[in-house]
Amino acid sequence: MRRIDKSPEAPESLRGVPAPDSPDDIDPRVYAARDVKERLKADQMRKCAYCECRLNGDYGHTEHYRPKNGYTTAEGAPLRTPGYYWLAYDWNNLLLSCSTCNSSCKKNHFALADESARGIASRDTSRESPLLINPAEDDPARHIVFHDEIAVPRPSGGGEDPRGRYTIDTMRLNSRPDLVENRLRLLCRYRTMLQARRLAEELVRRGLEPVRGRGLLEAAEAAIREMESPSGEYSAMLRQGHPESRHKDW
Ligand SMILES: [Zn+2]
């Protein structure tokens, strides 16, 4: 999960549309409009907001950070209604996610650090402290680090970061075999490229293969830059724990 810089202005389909007055007023054609998904997809570098998989083919799911229909505070806990229905078209509440993150992981989960601050009745969320990281508002790197391909909460106050823990568990960032395997594959490719770069630098430095060495160096640099870039799939993992990373423009 990486920080997302969303466009400040809402897409055309959301502009001037009154917020729903009740859960029954929600029209999915508004928040799932093509221009909404296209803008989110561009802002998110064509990646799922939560797991960072590449959104190929379809447009992905418009995900409501604060769930619009109802919420649960823990796995197996009852669904409480209503949800944050008035935020159904709110640009600041929308993200794009893959179907697994949306339908199998996030679902209606939305726990708060302090349940008494829940702002649904008052339609005022300013006192809420959500446990789920919102990559459009929070820097996920402050809460989650990676030990190789495994996501772990940052240490915090003698324990672990509660938002990191909640997000990892809710989005099942370590318990989806395909996702973990994809991260591991990327990590292997990344380390191979780091090794290739070291070798190329050595060849150039010693003047052994200056031309071929320089070619290899450029190719390795380009591959590393692409993998580490914000558009790189699962690139949050490459941000920490890799002292060889030379690109600090995260
Ligand atoms: Zn996802």
Ligand 1 centre distance from Cα of residue 199 (Å): 36
Ligand 1 centre distance from Cα of residue 121 (Å): 30
Ligand 1 centre distance from Cα of residue 154 (Å): 21
Q: What is the pTM of this model?
A: 0.93
Ligand 1 centre distance from Cα of residue 127 (Å): 28
Ligand 1 centre distance from Cα of residue 136 (Å): 15
Query: Which residues hold their Cβ within 5 A of ligand 1, which is an ion?
Result: 48, 50-51, 98, 101
d(CA 76, CA 182): 29
- Encoded tokens for 238: 């490459």
Ligand 1 centre distance from Cα of residue 231 (Å): 14
pLDDT tens across 49-97, in order? 999 999 987 678 999 999 999 999 998 999 999 999 999 999 999 999 9
**In angstroms, what CA-CA distances link 183 with 2, 28, 113, 133?**
14, 33, 30, 20
Ligand 1 centre distance from Cα of residue 81 (Å): 25
Ligand 1 centre distance from Cα of residue 48 (Å): 5
217-227 average pLDDT score: 96
pLDDT at residue 59 in the model: 72
pLDDT tens across 171-217, in order? 999 999 999 999 999 999 999 999 999 999 999 999 988 898 999 99
Number of other CB atoms surrounding residue 71 within 10 Å: 22
Sequence-distant (6+) residues with CB within 8 A of 112 are 73, 118, 128, 129, 130, 131
Sequence-distant (6+) residues with CB within 8 A of 48 are 55, 60, 96, 97, 98, 101
Cβ-contact 112, 89 below 8 angstroms: no
Ligand 1 centre distance from Cα of residue 1 (Å): 9
DSSP class of 141: G
Q: How confident is the prediction for the chain on average, in pLDDT? A: 93
